[in-house]
C-alpha cells in the first residue's frame, strides 16, 4: 500500500522532526527530495557513528529519500530549489525561525505562486510569540512543556530517553500533511501547516495537565511506576529480576488477589478497595505484593500473571528488542541499504510486510546530478554548480 505514489515532497530539513515527518510520507510512496548542505549534508549525519560508521539518528529517519545538495545562500542554489518546489506537492522546512522567509521560501510567497502547494513549517516554539527565536532542542522543549516535571523519581527529574518532542512534532506534521492532501483533493487548494515542538508536546501532556487543572496538585514523579494507578509498574521477583505489571480495573484487581496473591480477602480490604485507596496505601500494599513475588522467579511470575490474566512485561534492553519474538513472528524486520551496507529496519507500523517500502538511506548528495538533470540542466551546468560548491 503506497497511496502517496505520484506525490512529490521537497524537504529542506535537518535533525529529527522534519526528516521524521518526510520519512513517513516516503514510506507511503511519496517521492521525497531531501535538500542538504553541500559537502557535510544534514548535521544529524555526524551525531554518532554507531551503524557501520553512520549516524544512528540519520539511518532511522532518512530511508526512502533522494539526497540533493544545494547552497541556498547562493542565488543559483535558491533558484534551483524554487524550481523544484514549483513542481512539488509539499514543501517542508525546519530551518531556524525566519530563515526560510528570508530566503524567499516563506509560506505566503510560495503559495501565492502556487495555491495548490502544501507548505509545512516545523519549529521549536512557533511564530509569533516571545519564544519564536529561541533555540529549541528536544530537551529544552521537554522542559518547557512540563514533561520533565512529571518524569523521573521523587528526587530527580529525567528526560524521556528518546527525542519525544521531535517525534511528536514530526508525527503531527505528517498527519496534517496527509489531511491537507485529502482537503486539496476536494478543493484543489493547498494550505500552510505550522507545527511547533512545544505545542505537539503539550498535546501529549493532556493527562497530567488536566490532573492538575485549576491549581490542583500535579501527579508525582514515580520513576517507572504509574503516578496515580496502583499496582502499576516495576516489582522485583525472587531471582532479582524486575517484572512489570499493571492492574487497570476492579475486575483485574479481584482476580489478581485470588489467583496471584492467593489472598482473595485483600481485594475487599478497605485500604485497597478502590484504585484511589490502593494508590494512597501503596507502600503497605507493595509489601504484600513483594512477599509473594519473593517466592517466584521472574519467569514464574510472568507466567502466573499472564494466566490470571494481568498485564505484564519483561524489562528488555534495547539490544533484546532486535530479537523480540513478537516482532519476528510478524515479519516486521526488513533490510535497508545504506552507504555502509544493508541494515535491519522495522517496517512502518500498520502496513503489512509486503506493502512496506524499504528503499535506501542516501549518501550526501547521492542524487544531486540526477535531480538537476531532471530539471533540464546540462552536464556542463551541473559540473559548474558542483565545482563552485553550489550543489
In a domain, 305, yes or no: yes
343 lies in the same domain as 267: no
Q: Among 219, 133, 122, 214, which residue's Cα sits nearest to residue 171?
A: 122
Last residue of a domain, one of 315, 348, 369: 315
363 lies in the same domain as 243: no
30 lies in the same domain as 147: yes
In a domain, 213, yes or no: no
In a domain, 13, yes or no: yes
How far is residue 104's CA from residue 126's CA, in Å, rounded to a whole number?
19
What was the pLDDT predicted at 317? Answer: 85
In a domain, 22, yes or no: yes
Predicted structure pTM score:
0.91
Catalytic option among 114, 166, 271, 355: 166
250 lies in the same domain as 288: yes
Segments forming the whole domain that contains residue 281? 232-315
How far is residue 190's CA from residue 276's CA, in Å, rounded to a whole number?
49
**Burial class of residue 317, CB neighbours in 10 A (0-12, 13-18, 19+):** exposed
Alpha-helical (H) ranges within the chain are 17-27, 56-61, 75-86, 99-102, 107-113, 138-144, 164-187, 197-204, 206-211, 250-255, 275-280, 282-293, 298-307, 318-321, 325-329, 368-374, 379-387
Is the model's pLDDT at 356 over the cut of 90?
Answer: no
174 lies in the same domain as 276: no
Q: How confident is the model at residue 30 (pLDDT cuts 50, 70, 90)?
A: very high
In a domain, 2, yes or no: no
The CATH number of whichever domain residue 264 belongs to comes to 3.30.1540.10
Catalytic status, residue 271: no
The residues with which 335 forms a beta bridge, in sequence order, are 344
200 lies in the same domain as 239: no
Tell me the Cα Rg of the chain: 25
pLDDT, one tens digit per residue, over 249-289 is: 999 999 999 999 999 999 999 999 999 999 999 999 999 99
Distance of CA 16 to the CA centre of its chain: 8
Q: What does each C-alpha distance from 295 to 236, 237, 325 come to in angstroms?
A: 11, 8, 27
290 lies in the same domain as 344: no
The secondary structure element, H or E, covering residue 311 is: strand 311-314
Q: Are 41 and 365 spatial neighbours (Cβ–Cβ below 8 Å)?
A: yes
Number of domains in the chain: 2
Q: How confident is the model at residue 351 (pLDDT cuts 50, 70, 90)?
A: confident
135 lies in the same domain as 279: no
- Residue 57 makes CB contacts below 8 A (sequence gap 6+) with 15, 16, 44, 47, 48
DSSP secondary structure letter of residue 318: H
Last residue of a domain, one of 315, 338, 370: 315
Q: What mean pLDDT value characterizes the chain?
A: 94
109 lies in the same domain as 60: yes
Is the model's pLDDT at 352 over the cut of 90?
Answer: no
In a domain, 221, yes or no: no
33 lies in the same domain as 66: yes
22 lies in the same domain as 158: yes
Q: Are 180 and 143 spatial neighbours (Cβ–Cβ below 8 Å)?
A: no
Q: Cell 494507578 maps to which residue?
A: 229
What was the pLDDT predicted at 135? Answer: 86
Q: What percent of the chain has pLDDT over 70?
A: 100
Last residue of a domain, one of 315, 337, 365: 315
How far is residue 1's CA from residue 38's CA, in Å, rounded to a whole number?
34
In a domain, 168, yes or no: yes
Angle CA 89–199–223, to nearest 5: 125
Is the model's pLDDT at 97 over the cut of 90?
Answer: no
Q: What is the mean pLDDT of residues 295-304?
A: 96
The CATH number of whichever domain residue 343 belongs to comes to 3.40.50.10540
Q: Are 118 and 135 spatial neighbours (Cβ–Cβ below 8 Å)?
A: no
293 lies in the same domain as 356: no
In a domain, 69, yes or no: yes
Q: Which three cell numbers stand for residue 225?
A: 511506576
Q: How confident is the model at residue 187 (pLDDT cuts 50, 70, 90)?
A: very high
How far is residue 335's CA from residue 165's CA, in Å, rounded to a whole number?
28
> How long is the chain?
391
Is the model's pLDDT at 76 over the cut of 80?
Answer: yes
pLDDT, one tens digit per residue, over 124-147 is: 999 889 999 888 899 999 999 999
Amino acid at each position: 500500500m503506497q497511496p502517496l505514489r505520484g506525490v512529490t515532497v521537497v524537504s529542506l530539513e535537518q535533525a529529527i522532526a522534519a526528516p521524521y515527518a518526510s520519512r513517513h510520507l516516503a514510506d507511503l510512496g511519496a517521492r521525497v527530495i531531501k535538500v542538504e548542505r553541500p559537502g557535510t549534508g544534514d548535521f544529524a549525519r555526524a551525531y554518532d557513528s554507531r551503524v557501520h560508521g553512520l549516524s544512528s539518528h540519520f539511518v532511522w529517519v532518512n530511508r526512502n529519500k533522494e539526497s540533493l545538495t544545494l547552497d541556498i545562500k547562493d542565488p543559483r542554489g535558491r533558484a534551483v530549489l524554487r524550481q523544484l518546489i514549483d513542481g512539488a506537492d509539499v514543501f517542508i522546512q525546519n530551518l531556524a525561525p525566519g530563515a526560510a522567509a528570508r530566503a524567499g521560501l516563506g509560506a505566503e510567497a510560495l503559495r501565492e505562486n502556487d495555491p495548490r502547494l502544501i507548505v509545512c513549517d516545523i519549529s521549536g516554539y512557533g511564530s509569533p510569540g516571545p519564544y519564536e527565536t529561541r533555540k529549541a532542542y528536544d530537551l529544552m522543549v521537554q522542559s518547557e512543556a512540563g514533561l520533565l516535571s512529571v518524569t523521573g523519581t521523587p528526587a530527580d527529574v529525567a528526560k524521556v530517553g528518546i527525542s519525544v518532542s521531535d517525534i511528536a512534532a514530526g508525527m503531527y506534521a505528517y498527519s496534517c500533511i496527509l489531511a491537507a492532501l485529502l482537503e486539496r483533493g476536494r478543493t484543489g487548494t493547498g494550505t500552510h501547516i505550522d507545527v511547533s515542538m512545544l505545542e505537539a508536546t503539550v498535546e501529549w501532556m493532556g493527562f497530567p495537565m488536566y490532573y492538575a487543572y485549576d491549581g490542583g496538585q500535579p501527579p508525582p514523579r514515580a520513576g517507572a511506576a504509574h503516578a496515580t494507578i496502583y499496582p502499576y509498574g516495576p516489582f522485583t521477583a525472587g531471582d532479582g529480576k524486575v517484572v512489570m505489571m499493571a492492574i487497570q480495573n476492579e475486575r483485574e484487581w479481584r482476580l489478581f488477589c485470588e489467583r496471584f496473591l492467593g489472598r482473595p480477602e485483600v481485594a475487599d480490604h478497605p485500604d485497597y478497595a478502590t484504585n484511589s485507596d490502593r494508590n494512597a496505601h501503596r507502600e503497605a500494599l507493595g509489601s504484600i505484593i513483594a512477599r509473594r513475588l519473593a517466592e517466584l522467579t521472574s519467569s514464574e511470575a510472568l507466567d502466573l500473571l499472564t494466566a490470571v490474566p494481568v498485564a505484564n512485561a519483561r524489562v528488555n534492553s534495547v539490544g533484546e528488542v532486535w530479537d523480540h519474538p513478537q516482532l519476528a513472528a510478524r515479519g516486521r524486520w526488513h533490510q535497508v541499504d545504506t552507504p555502509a551496507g544493508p541494515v535491519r529496519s522495522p517496517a512502518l507500523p500498520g502496513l503489512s510486510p509486503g506493502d512496506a517500502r524499504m528503499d535506501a538511506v542516501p549518501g550526501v548528495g547521492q542524487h544531486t546530478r540526477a535531480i538537476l538533470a531532471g530539471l533540464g540542466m546540462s552536464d556542463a551546468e551541473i559540473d559548474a554548480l558542483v565545482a563552485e560548491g553550489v550543489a
